[in-house]
Amino acid sequence: QVQFVESGGGLVQPGGSLKLSCVASGFSISRYAMAWYRQAAGEERDVVATIYTAGDATNYADSVRGRVTIFRDNAKNMVYLQMNNLQPEDTAVYYCNARNWVNSQFMAAFAWGQGTQVTISS
């Protein structure tokens, strides 16, 4: 049974930093691209950052590029998201998932975990 447990969220002031962690179980993350997504209230869930299996190449949404770093520890089956210079528009629930190609779409591979709430406010 595949599960994701995200942690590390919280309330921080604008300009602050957070490091999110995700422990995956039921599969080996070393075989998948892994990603962090976020969903703000009333909006769709969007991908924020992806780390691929080949050489740990990464890709970021324009809205976070330069402020966040995704990295993985295959031995621990964990994925992390270091977020710096956080802004109110980063407020959302953050989720991790594997990504897989399905019918020419690069999409979330498994059911979602509970996510971790990130709130940026002064």
Give CA–CA dist 70/25, Å, rounded.
Answer: 19
Q: Are 34 and 96 in contact (CB under 8 A)?
A: yes
What pLDDT is recorded for position 56? 79
Residuewise pLDDT in 10s, the chain (122 residues)? 999 999 999 999 999 999 999 999 999 999 999 999 999 999 999 999 999 987 679 999 999 999 999 999 999 999 999 999 999 999 999 999 999 988 988 999 999 999 999 999 99
DSSP letter (8 states) at residue 14: T
Which tokens hold the place of 32?
């998948």
Give CA–CA dist 101/80, Å, rounded.
Answer: 22
Instruction: Compute the half-sphere exposure of residue 60: CA atoms within 13 Å on the CB side of its CA.
Output: 13
